[in-house]
Amino acid sequence: MAVPLWVVGLKGASILDFKVDGDGEGVEEGQGFIFLFLSPATFASESDHKYQVDDPVKLWVNKVGPYNNPQETYNYYILPFCHPAGDPAHKWGGLGEVLGGNELIDSLVDIKFRKNVDKSLICRLDLTAEKIKQFKDAIENSYWFEFFMGFVGELHPDKNSDNNKHVLYTHKSITVKYNNDQIIHVNLSQETPKPLEDGKTLDMTYSVKWVPTNITFGRRFDVYLDYPFFEHQIHWFSIFNSFMMVIFLTGLVSMILMRTLRNDYAKYAREDDDLETLERDVSEESGWKLVHGDVFRPPQNLVLLSAVVGTGAQLASLVLLVILLAIVGTLYVGRGAIVTTFIVCYALTSFISGYVNGGMYSRHGGKSWIKSMILAASLFPFMCFGIGFILNTIAIFYGSLAAIPFGTMVVVFVIWAFISFPLGLLGTVVGRNWSGAPNNPCRVKTIPRPIPEKKWYLTPSVVSMMGGLLPFGSIFIEMYFVFTSFWNYKVYYVYGFMLLVFLILIIVTVCVTIVGTYFLLNAENYHWQWTSFFSAASTAVYVYFYSIYYYYVKTKMSGFFQTSFYFGYTLMFCLGLGILCGAVGYLGSNLFVRRIYRNIKCD
């Protein structure tokens, strides 16, 4: 459970997160700055995190890295700071924290609850040419570290030359605010900059001041949330704009269903012996009715389509569940809680993937259901594993904390192998037996009907690419806030907005895909299954294009490490988004197609 901290550094301000565990151990994470971990040696209540006067409080250090490259992080002691004597204690958090690349090391700085400390020595740092080079490289690349808020040092103009002078902050002033026996937040500042000179010894010092506050423990996290940013007027306007798009599209689909199709039904059902009238009706018939003998023909690569539709249905349920849990449980408070929740919920919702996949594959007459079952259970995890393996190899090469430890990999694999995979198999068997019976409204003809050539804008490829524009437009603004929270040290907490945007995305995707499917069938092209999937999945293509724009325009990221992580993680996100939207689009189109062919006469 996290406690919010407002930390003000010498060169600016940032919101930090102070986390207190059941044993009182705390973590503070900042806007590209530092983690402060305060912990009493005695046990504090997990529910109220209460301290006694003079309880020892541990100060933990975490990681260091370039401020503009959030994922490029390294062990704190990769820089020649004061290293505690002996073998300091290490602390690993939960699954989500480990995947986030956190490794906590006890700094052994002496801090006690509500006990002020005047300027006190941490250690004496003997500067050498090698140490100075490391510090200079860190300063020039704006390295931040999670310990207190601030940068490693600064470049000051040198009066004696045109070059800048490197200075290192040597004093850490820690102000801890508390309410009775509970820590509320911490104010940290860096002081006493000293120039880096070979052979010089620097005294690294710290001071601690405890200040009472009226802020309650329950409101401790409010200072961590950027209300002006996330609740800006443009955010509300984007929701309203997307809502208007939903009204327009649902009206368009309703018009197709209630007016166009009704007229089509009336003409198609009319029995007229007059040859001229019959010829006129035939010439005026809509093209979708002419392909009733082929529209339910099994699609190509049925195994793959069933697997991605099943996976997409699972991801849609997963996202909805995680958002609801985040709203109810304020998951942004706990470090890594969202990632942990996502992994556990993914495993538990694997039954949905298997059920949808098994039912769909059997309804279309699929015979290799075991192959379909295994593919659906392993498709998305293996895609993520492939991307993650490449990124992990890069992180290991750079010696970064972003590298996932082998033990954590084993834990994730065990969750997939013993929870996710069996539930997926069970869902496939249940879906195959409960909803796998063919129930097509029209009989499939033996010989496929030839597809006439149509204008370029009615081809499946064009319909597919155009289908993602409106869904992307409905989430465009929200993508900016999501990207900013993930890549620019913002804490995303407006999950109510996310829920609305997600529901709008689902509705817009279904409506757009139905319209695209209707146009395609009117062009007498009955290959609607894959087209409806790609029409909705193309939303992810536009999101990826937007991520390229965001990278070059909105961030200052650089270097192979950060670039690979940015586009690798974005690719993983877009693959999931594409499968999710594609499944929603296909399922919506499937209901639409069955609905319109249910009321026509079929031979």
Positive or negative torsion for Cα 321, 325, 326, 332: negative
According to DSSP, the β-strands at 153-157 and 56-57 are unpaired
Which residues, including other chains, have CB under 8 Å from residue 570's CB and lie 6 or more apart? 544, 547
For residues 171 and 308, state if they share a domain: no
Task: Classify residue 330: in a domain, yes or no.
Answer: yes
Q: Calculate mean pLDDT across residues 134-150.
A: 73
**In this predicted model, what pLDDT tens digit does every residue of 191-202 receive, in sequence order?**
888 888 888 888
Contacts of 143 by beta carbon, 8 Å cutoff, 6+ apart: 64, 65, 66, 67, 79, 151, 152
Note the pLDDT tens digit of each residue in 460-477: 899 999 999 989 988 888
Tally Cβ neighbours within 10 Å of residue 416: 21
pLDDT tier for residue 1 given thresholds of 50, 70 and 90: very low
The reported pLDDT for the residue numbered 266 is: 67
pTM for this model (two decimals): 0.80
What pLDDT is attached to residue 8?
25
The band of 99, judged by pLDDT with boundaries at 50, 70 and 90, is confident
Per DSSP bridges, beta strands 12-20 and 2-9 are: antiparallel
More confident residue, 561 or 20: 561
Structural domain includes residue 54? yes
Q: What is the mean pLDDT of residues 569-593?
A: 96
Instruction: Please report which helix (H) or strand (E) contains residue 362, including its range.
Output: helix 350-363
Residues 151 and 213 in one domain: yes
**150 has pLDDT over 70:** no
- 179 in the same domain as 262: no
240 and 203 both lie in a single domain? no
Do both 201 and 345 map to the same domain?
no
Mean pLDDT, the chain, integer: 80
pLDDT at 333: 63
pLDDT of residue 327 exceeding 80, the answer is yes
6, part of any domain: no
Query: Using 50, 70 and 90 to split pLDDT, how confident is the model at 5?
Result: very low
What was the pLDDT predicted at 448?
A: 87
Residue-level pLDDT at 10? 24
Range of the domain at 247: 235-267+283-438+454-599
Per the structure, how many domains does the chain have?
2
Within 159-226, strands assigned E span: 164-179, 182-195, 201-212
The verdict on residue 417 lying in a domain is yes
pLDDT in tens, 491-536: 777 888 889 899 999 999 999 999 999 989 988 899 999 999 999 9
Q: How far apart are CA 375 and CA 307, in angstroms?
A: 6
Tell me, yes or no, whether 449 lies in a domain.
no
pLDDT in tens, 285-312: 557 888 888 999 999 999 999 999 999 9
Q: In what order do the strands lie in the sheet with 74-75?
A: 74-75, 63-66, 143-145
State what percent of residues in the chain have pLDDT above 90: 32
> Does residue 504 lie in a domain region?
yes
Task: Say whether both 186 and 251 belong to one domain.
Answer: no
Q: Residue 497 has what pLDDT?
A: 85
Residues 171 and 261 reside in one and the same domain: no
Among 163-172, 238-247, 370-379, name the most confident range.
Answer: 370-379
Q: What angle do CA 354, 391, 130 make, to 5 degrees?
A: 155
At 142, list the tokens: 């704006």
Paired sense of beta strands 182-195 and 164-179, if any: antiparallel
Average confidence (pLDDT) over 428-452: 87
Neighbouring residues of 304: CB distance < 8 A, sequence distance ≥ 6: 375
* Span of 30-34, 353-357, 456-460, 556-560 with lowest mean pLDDT: 30-34
Segment 567-587 mean pLDDT: 97
Same domain, 346 and 306: yes
Same domain, 68 and 113: yes
Q: Is the domain of 212 the same as that of 240?
A: no
Q: How many CB atoms lie within 10 A of CB 214?
A: 8
- The reply to whether 258 and 138 lie within a common domain is no
Q: Are residue 191 and residue 312 in the same domain, yes or no?
A: no
**Does any domain span residue 491?**
yes
Residue 99 resides in a domain = yes
The residue that leads in pLDDT, 16 or 107, is: 107
Q: Which residue has the higher pLDDT, 549 or 280?
A: 549
- In the Cβ-directed half-sphere of 157, how many Cα atoms lie within 13 Å? 2
Q: What is the DSSP string of 553-574?
A: HH----HHHHHHHHHHHHHHHH
